[in-house]
Structure 1
Amino acid sequence: MNQQDIFDSLARNAFDFLERGIEEFDKAPKYSVIHFCAAVEMLLKARLMREHWSLIVSKPEQANLAKFMAGDFASVTMDEARARIRDIAGEDIADDAFNSFRTLANHRNKMIHFFHADVDGDGQAKAQIVAEHCRSWFHLHRLLNRWDAYFHGFSAEITRADRSMKGHRKYLSTKFKALKPELDAARSAGSKPKACSACGFKAAIPDAFDDQIASLLCLVCDHTETQVEIDCPHCNQPVVIANEGYAVCEHCGGAIEPEHLADTLTDHAAVHIGIADGDDRWEPANCGTCDGYHTVVRRGDIYFCVNCFDTSDHVEQCEWCNEPNTGDMEHSYSTGCSHCDGKVGWEKDD
């Protein structure tokens, strides 16, 4: 077997576990959690496989191909997989996504290693499990779409899992109905609930930054997200983008990139006037959270990153390179910012 064969085998096994995790929920919710979590971990490892097989081994410096092929090795933890995907593949998994995976893993660990109340007949516990599945699948599905170059051969499995998850959400309908008074009160107060990207119920209460950007909390599954509403740059149809600046238009299938969001969300007239008046706070800034270069645009009194959807109430100039950044620039003269190495780095290179 070559590396591609190993990747295909690992990914196929992961989707098999994912399918079992969804299907088993009715009769065996405990094993549903275990299998669903295993699928998430295997898909992260499969992404590492596309860099090199040894990255799946806990100690790559001791990796042995013969032992690896025989399955005789200790594999990376979820935390190690995330770190290697970030540091070696250069693709960070956002905190909200990883925290969702971590919550699922903690639930799995309790079921395996400690006493766990019987959840078979516990409606509240089953609703919690489905909520965790919905949140994790939302983030995992987005990662698989982002990694389409590697997982394009498994589009049928991804579509099938997504379709199965939609049926899985029926277990949350009781909770949704019970929330009707609270949702009605939110509507009366002017906070019209929106559809949650994770569970699909119109139970996400918006806290609007402005007429296009809102932070939402779903009362059904506890999923949190930031939504941006724009017209698709390709077909001009309205689209809603959640949590990060990469999306595919549901109307035309066109790719929506962070630069599209930056152009749409930038008040070009205000920028022109501000620059003419010497107000450099309207210049595009760098993001201190995701290290995005010029991905931060000003929206009234807030600064919004079109790459990771992080918000800040101010920007500061790097004391070394003068680039505007969100985050703390107090020691940037010496250490620099995310796009320079400061005085220390300059002297080292010199």
Structure 2
Amino acid sequence: MNQKEIFDSLVRNAFDFLERAVTEFESFPKYSVIHFCAAVEMILKARLMREHWSLIVSKPEQANYARFVSGDFISVTMDEARARLRDIARVEIPNEAFDSFRTIAKHRNKMVHFFHCDVDSEGKAKQQIVSEQCRSWFYLYRQLDRWGAHFSDFNSDIARAEILMKSHRKYLSAKYKALKPELEKVKKGGNTPKKCSVCSYKSAVPEAIDEVISPVACLVCDHSEIQVEIDCPHCLRSISIAGEGHSRCRHCGKKINPEHLVAALSDPSAMYRSYKDGGEDCDPANCGECCGYHTVVMRKGMYFCTNCFSTSDNVEQCQWCNESSTGSMNDTYLSGCEHCEGKAGWEADD
């Protein structure tokens, strides 16, 4: 087998495990957790393999291609895969996504190496498993969309998995029905629940920052995110962007990037007034959390990143290049910020 054949086999195996996790959940919830975790790990390893096959070997310096092809090697852990994707492939997996993957992995480890006393019972344990799997698929689906060029041969498998996961959410219907009185009470109080991006129930209770940005917490699946309501820049229909500024319009299917959100959310007059009152800048700022360039806009005295959806109370200027950022700009005159090399770098270039 060549590397392409191994990659394809790995990805097909991942989707096979994912399908088993969903279809066997009712009868074998324990194996559902094990299979789902295996699917997530295989997708991460497959993306890492796109950089180089040796990167999915636990000790790359000892990698042997003949042993790799035969499957005779120890592969990376989930944490190692993330670190190598970040440090070598320069592919970042957001913290909230990886936290979701690790939760699944912890339950898998408990079952494989010890036991999970509640997993075969009805009720809350099963609801929790479905919530965690739906949340992990939400993030994994988003990563696969970003890695589209690497997984384009598997678009039909990804679409099938999305359909399967939608059917999987039916196990949360009992919890949603039980929560309806509480959700009605919330609605009567003027805080209408929104549709949750993970479980699809209108059970995400908002806490508005302003008229378009709302942190929400779902009472059904416990997922928390920030939702932004804008008009799609492509088809002009109203949409909700959840979690971070990389999504697709549910109407036209076109991508919504941070640049689109900057254009939709920027209030030049407010930023200029802030600048006149002693603020650092009247242009979009950079993000100290995700290192996004000009992804931060000002919203009613708060700074909001359209890339990672983080918020901050203030921005500071780099002491060398004068770029504004939500991160600390202390000691940046010499070393620079994320977007410059400072005085030391400038002198080194000379």
For the criterion TM > 0.5, the same-fold answer is yes
| Structure 2 partner of 1:196 | 196
- Unmatched tracts of structure 2, length 5 or more: none
| Structure 2 partner of 1:244 | 244
Equivalent residues in 2 for 1:157-168, closer than 5 Å: 157-168=157-168
State how far apart, in whole Å, the 2-side matches of 1:274 and 1:121 are: 57
State how far apart, in whole Å, the 2-side matches of 1:119 and 1:78 are: 23
State how far apart, in whole Å, the 2-side matches of 1:349 and 1:74 are: 44
State how far apart, in whole Å, the 1-side matches of 2:271 and 2:333 are: 27
Deviation at residue 271 of structure 1 after TM alignment: 4.0
TM-score, normalised to structure 2, is 0.95
| Structure 1 partner of 2:283 | 283
Deviation at residue 307 of structure 1 after TM alignment: 0.9
1:173 aligns to 2:198 (yes or no): no
Moved over 6 A (4+): none
State how far apart, in whole Å, the 2-side matches of 1:304 and 1:347 are: 34
Deviation at residue 289 of structure 1 after TM alignment: 0.7
TM-score, normalised to structure 1, is 0.95
1:300 aligns to 2:295 (yes or no): no
Deviations 1:27-67 (A, max 9, x none): 00000000000000000001011111111111112111001
Q: CA RMSD in A?
A: 1.7
What SS does structure 1 have at the residue aligned with 2:253?
Answer: coil
Equivalent residues in 2 for 1:117-132, closer than 5 Å: 117-132=117-132
What SS does structure 1 have at the residue aligned with 2:298?
Answer: strand
Deviates more, 1:296-305 or 1:115-124: 115-124
Deviations 1:261-287 (A, max 9, x none): 111110133345556777544321111
Deviation at residue 152 of structure 1 after TM alignment: 1.5
Deviations 1:285-339 (A, max 9, x none): 1111111111111111111111111111111112232211112222333433211
Deviations 1:171-210 (A, max 9, x none): 1111112212321222122221111100111111111111
State how far apart, in whole Å, the 1-side matches of 2:348 and 2:18 are: 49
| Structure 2 partner of 1:10 | 10
Give the fraction of aligned pairs with identical amino acids, expressed as a percent.
64
| Structure 1 partner of 2:74 | 74
- Unmatched tracts of structure 1, length 5 or more: none
| Structure 1 partner of 2:21 | 21
Deviation at residue 120 of structure 1 after TM alignment: 2.3
Report how many aligned residue pairs link the two structures: 350
Deviates more, 1:320-329 or 1:55-64: 320-329
1:228 aligns to 2:228 (yes or no): yes
Quick one: which amino acid aligns to residue 185 of structure 2?
A: A
Deviates more, 1:92-101 or 1:240-249: 240-249
| Structure 2 partner of 1:137 | 137
Deviation at residue 23 of structure 1 after TM alignment: 0.9
| Structure 1 partner of 2:258 | 258
1:56 aligns to 2:52 (yes or no): no
Change in CA separation of 1:156 and 1:66 when aligned onto 2, cut-off 3 Å: same
Q: Are the equivalent residues in 1 in contact too, given 2:270–2:298 (CA < 8 A)?
A: no
Q: Are the equivalent residues in 1 in contact too, given 2:268–2:282 (CA < 8 A)?
A: no
State how far apart, in whole Å, the 1-side matches of 2:3 and 2:125 are: 41
Q: Are the equivalent residues in 1 in contact too, given 2:280–2:316 (CA < 8 A)?
A: no
Change in CA separation of 1:277 and 1:220 when aligned onto 2, cut-off 3 Å: closer
What SS does structure 1 have at the residue aligned with 2:38?
Answer: helix
What SS does structure 1 have at the residue aligned with 2:203?
Answer: strand
Q: Are the equivalent residues in 2 in contact too, given 1:282–1:297 (CA < 8 A)?
A: no
Change in CA separation of 1:323 and 1:23 when aligned onto 2, cut-off 3 Å: same
| Structure 1 partner of 2:87 | 87
